[in-house]
A and B are shown apart, each in its own frame.
Chain A
Amino acid sequence: MNTTARHWSLKKIIIIGSFTTVTLAMLAIAALTAGHLRITRGTEAIELLTVPGVLETSRVVRNLEHLRRYGDTAMFTTSSVERNRVQMSMTLIAMHPSMQASELVKARVQSARLVLGQALAMSPLPPVDQPAREKALALWAQTAEDLTVLADELTTKSSKRASDDAHRIHTISTQTLSWLTFAIVALLLCGLLFGGFILIYIARPLQRTVQTLDQLENNESTAISLPTSPVHEIYRLHAATYALSAVMASDKQHRTELEAMLAENRLRTVELDVSNQALKQALTEQELLTETVTLQKEEIESTINRMKRLEGIISICMHCKKIRNEHESWDQLEKYISQHSDAMFSHGICPECIEKHHPKVAMKIRKVSI
Chain B
Amino acid sequence: MPKFLCHIMIVFTVSISFVMESSTFARGESLVVGVMKDAKPGSWRNEKGELTGFSVDVARALCTSMSVTCSFNETNSMQELIDAVANNRVDFVSASLLETPERSAKMLFTTPYFRSSSYLIARQGVSLSTSGLRVVVLKGAVQMNYIQSRLAGNQRMVLADTVTVIVNALEQGRADASLLAMFQAINILSQPKLIELGFTVTPIVAPELTGDAKIGVTRTKPQLRDRLNEALKEIRSNGTLEKINSRHMPFRVL
> A residues near B, CB below 8 A?
55, 59-60, 62-63, 66, 81, 84-85, 87-89, 91-98
Contact = CB atoms under 8 A, between A and B. Distances in A.
A54 to B, nearest CB: 12
Nearest to A93: B251
Nearest to A95: B203
Contacts of B192: 81, 85
Interface stretch (B67-75, B81-89, B180-188): B180-188
Nearest to B252: A59
A92 B200 contact: no
Contacts of B201: 87-88, 91-92
Contact of A63 (B185, B211, B251): B251
A88 B117 contact: no
28 contacts: A55-B242, A60-B252, A62-B251, A66-B252, A84-B196, A84-B198, A85-B189, A85-B192, A85-B195, A87-B201, A88-B188, A88-B200, A89-B189, A89-B250, A89-B251, A91-B200, A92-B182, A92-B201, A92-B250, A95-B119, A95-B205, A96-B182, A96-B252, A96-B253, A97-B115, A97-B210, A98-B115, A98-B252
Contacts of A87: 200-201
A92 B185 contact: yes
Q: Which of A60, A89, A96 has the most CB of B within 10 A?
A: A96
Interface in B238-254: 242, 250-254
Contacts of A91: 119, 200-203
Interface of B: 115-117, 119, 182, 185-186, 188-189, 192, 195-196, 198-203, 205, 210-211, 242, 250-254
Given A84-B195, A84-B198, A91-B203, A96 B251 contact: yes
Contact of B196 (A55, A60, A81, A93): A81
Contacts of B199: 88
B60 to A, nearest CB: 22
A99 B102 CA distance: 29
A60 B235 CA distance: 20
Contacts of B211: 97
Chain A interface, DSSP helix/strand/loop, else mixed = helix
Contact of B117 (A60, A89, A96): A96
A94 B205 CA distance: 12
A334 to B, nearest CB: 137
Nearest to B186: A92
A89 B251 CA distance: 9
B24 to A, nearest CB: 33
A63 B117 CA distance: 15
A92 B189 contact: yes
Contacts of B116: 97
A87 B250 CA distance: 13
Contacts of B182: 92, 96
Contacts of A84: 195-196, 198, 200
Contacts of A94: 203
A8 B87 CA distance: 82
A96 B188 CA distance: 16
A103 B111 CA distance: 25
A95 B242 CA distance: 20
A66 B116 CA distance: 18
Given A96-B251, A97-B116, 6 more contacts: A85-B189, A88-B195, A92-B185, A93-B250, A95-B119, A96-B117
B117 A66 contact: no
A60 B252 CA distance: 8
B98 to A, nearest CB: 12
B251 A81 contact: no
A92 B252 contact: no
A55 B198 CA distance: 36
Contacts of A95: 117, 119, 203, 205
B195 A92 contact: no
Nearest to B188: A88
Nearest to A60: B252
A84 B198 CA distance: 7
A97 B211 CA distance: 8
Given A92-B185, A96-B115, A66 B195 contact: no
A95 B117 CA distance: 8
B246 to A, nearest CB: 9
A59 B236 CA distance: 13
Contacts of B195: 81, 84-85, 88
A158 to B, nearest CB: 14
A98 B117 CA distance: 10
B189 A59 contact: no
Given A88-B195, A95-B117, A97-B115, A66 B251 contact: yes
Given A63-B252, A66-B250, A96-B115, A88 B189 contact: yes
Contacts of A60: 252
